[in-house]
Amino acid sequence: MAFPYMEAVVGFMILMHFFETYLDLRQHAAYKLPTLPKPLEGVIGQEKFQKSRAYSLDKSRFHFLHEFVSILMDSAILLFGILPWFWKKSGEFLVLAGLNAENEILHTLSFLAGVMIWSQITDLPFSLYSTFVIEARHGFNKQTVWLFFWDIIKGIFLSVIIGPPIVAAIIIIVQKGGPYLAIYLWGFMFVLSLVMMTLFPILIAPLFNKFTPLPEGELRESIEKLASSLTFPLKKLFVVDGSTRSSHSNAYMYGFFKNKRIVLYDTLIQQCKTEEVVAVIAHELGHWKLNHTMYSFIAVQILTFLQFGGYTLVRNSSDLFKSFGFDTQPVLIGLIIFQHTVIPLQHLVSFALNLVSRSFEFQADAFAKKLGYASELRSGLVKLQEENLSAMNTDPWYSAYHYSHPPLVERLAAIDKSDKKED
């Protein structure tokens, strides 16, 4: 008797839902705590703490509902054979449109168009509620309903432009890849990731936000001086109008080799003092100087190659396809099914990557501290925690499993500890 792959996948998905719900309940209890953790007493204002607590509890309650609906829908799609039914209907649609349903590329694009429409419809109520109720209630949402839907339209347009060539290329590679399929797939995705990393900030990001050069002044001079002292090849320094959508703040850098750019959210500049913004940039430059970005990129490439290697081992398994209700073996469906069957490994890998990421954050904080930004980084982190109403109380199990960044208490303790060592 063939192994019940589909039932095993659904069973594991439900098991993980219960496990993650247990962690969510632990974190929800932490949100309810009426007092700040001791290390933050006198550091975080009581008013900000109460606002953070209310915001976190609102998001947590919404998260429980969203995750419950998601696991119901995902399980139903697999258990009731909706995936093969949808594949069949997408082929019938092609016939009605006078196109060749035997062409796997056209069939796949028809299928993906239906999936995109379905995803937009089912995600819309949750996105609207999150943006215009929760985020608005707590003072974060700045976008209009028109801007919200305009962003969705632009996202769909980009998918329609970018998606088909990528899908077609993957199908052709799988059909003609032979024994070196995993290498060809990885090579294609590697080149694609480099192209997207190059084009995204230049062509795609400006469709959603306005990027302007940081004006001359103390902040620009301080950042340029810091970059120069570290031989960071800073080519451009931008401010992005994040405030048109949200009052959350952030900063990031991008670019290859000697063509680096730093982007500051206007909200970050509004919320923090000049020296605090510079300290945040010093932290980001620490990631660059310590090669964290390169290590992460290499790790992703290795994992991608291993995933494609695993896919090549099962892509011709008729038992696997039949378990999910398919009589044929389309390339895209094979990739979807494979992704479902390696969910247990993906959870383990995600947990491991979070551990590494948290380690990198501590190292970047230490780097900024060595540059003499300890107090500024400390006050900057506190201010960002307050302004973003981030959770003050965190459950250790929940944060260990979910957080890619250490909780504020741990980061401040690490900065203070290194201070004491030097004293």
State the average pLDDT over residues 203-207.
Answer: 86
Sign of CA dihedral 96, 97, 103, 105: negative
Contact 385, 409 (CB under 8 A): no
Least Cα distance to 23 among 402, 407, 351, 355 occurs for: 402
SS (H, E, C) the chain: CCCCHHHHHHHHHHHHHHHHHHHHHHHHHHHHCCCCCHHHECCECHHHHHHHHHHHHHHHHHHHHHHHHHHHHHHHHHHCCHHHHHHHHHHHHHHHCCCCCCCHHHHHHHHHHHHHHHHHHHHHHHHHHHHHHHHHHCCCECCCHHHHHHHHHHHHHHHHHHHHHHHHHHHHHHHHCHHHHHHHHHHHHHHHHHHHHHHHHHHHHHHHCCEEECCCCHHHHHHHHHHHHCCCCEEEEEEECHHHCECCCCEEEECCCCCEEEEEEHHHHHHCCHHHHHHHHHHHHHHHHCCHHHHHHHHHHHHHHHHHHHHHHHCCCHHHHHHCCCCCCCHHHHHHHHHHHCHHHHHHHHHHHHHHHHHHHHHHHHHHHHHHHHHHHHHHHHHHHHHCCCCCCCCHHHHHHHCCCCCHHHHHHHHHHHHHHHC
Q: Is 102 a catalytic residue?
A: no
Is residue 199's pLDDT more than 90?
Answer: no
Residue type, 136: A
pLDDT of residue 252: 83
pLDDT of residue 386: 87
Is residue 1's pLDDT more than 70?
Answer: no
Residue type, 265: Y
Q: Is 284 a catalytic residue?
A: yes
State the average pLDDT over residues 82-106.
Answer: 92
Token readout for 254 is 């991008």
Q: Which has more confidence, 37 or 245? A: 37
pLDDT of residue 419: 52
pLDDT band at 3 (very low <50, low <70, confident <90, very high): confident
Contact 9, 341 (CB under 8 A): yes
Is residue 423's pLDDT more than 70?
Answer: no
The DSSP bridge pattern shows strands 234-240 and 211-213 to be antiparallel
Of the residues 135, 266, 284, 386, which is catalytic?
284
- Quote the percentage of the chain above a pLDDT of 90: 64
Distance (Å, whole) CA 417 – CA 423:
10
Of the residues 104, 266, 361, 365, which is catalytic?
365
Strand-pairing partners, residue 260, are 234
Is residue 2's pLDDT more than 80?
Answer: no
Fold of 211-271: Zincin-like (3.30.2010)
Distance (Å, whole) CA 258 – CA 132:
41
Residue type, 380: G
pLDDT of residue 125: 96
Is residue 421's pLDDT more than 80?
Answer: no
Contact 28, 63 (CB under 8 A): no
The angle subtended at Cα 188 by Cα 343 and Cα 301, nearest 5°, is 50
Average pLDDT, the chain: 90
Distance (Å, whole) CA 62 – CA 341:
28
- Please write the tens of the pLDDT for every residue from 44-76: 888 999 999 999 999 999 999 999 999 999 999
State the average pLDDT over residues 276-289.
Answer: 93
- Please write the tens of the pLDDT for every residue from 232-276: 888 888 898 888 888 888 888 887 767 788 889 988 888 888 999
pLDDT of residue 131: 94
Least Cα distance to 378 among 394, 285, 386, 214 occurs for: 386
- Please write the tens of the pLDDT for every residue from 123-161: 999 999 999 999 999 988 888 999 999 999 999 999 999
Give the start-to-end residue ranges of the domains of the chain. 211-271
CA 354: distance to chain centroid?
Answer: 12
Least Cα distance to 129 among 147, 148, 151 occurs for: 148
Is residue 285's pLDDT more than 70?
Answer: yes
Question: Where is average pLDDT lowest: 7-21, 45-59, 162-176, 244-258?
Answer: 244-258
Residue type, 86: F
Question: Where is average pLDDT lowest: 186-200, 247-261, 327-341, 367-381?
Answer: 247-261
Distance (Å, whole) CA 132 – CA 62:
13
Contact 261, 201 (CB under 8 A): yes
Residue type, 21: T
Is residue 395's pLDDT more than 90?
Answer: yes
pLDDT of residue 155: 92
State the average pLDDT over residues 180-188.
Answer: 94
State the average pLDDT over residues 89-114.
Answer: 92
Distance (Å, whole) CA 119 – CA 329:
23
Token readout for 98 is 């006078």
SS (H, E, C) 161-174: HHHHHHHHHHHHHH
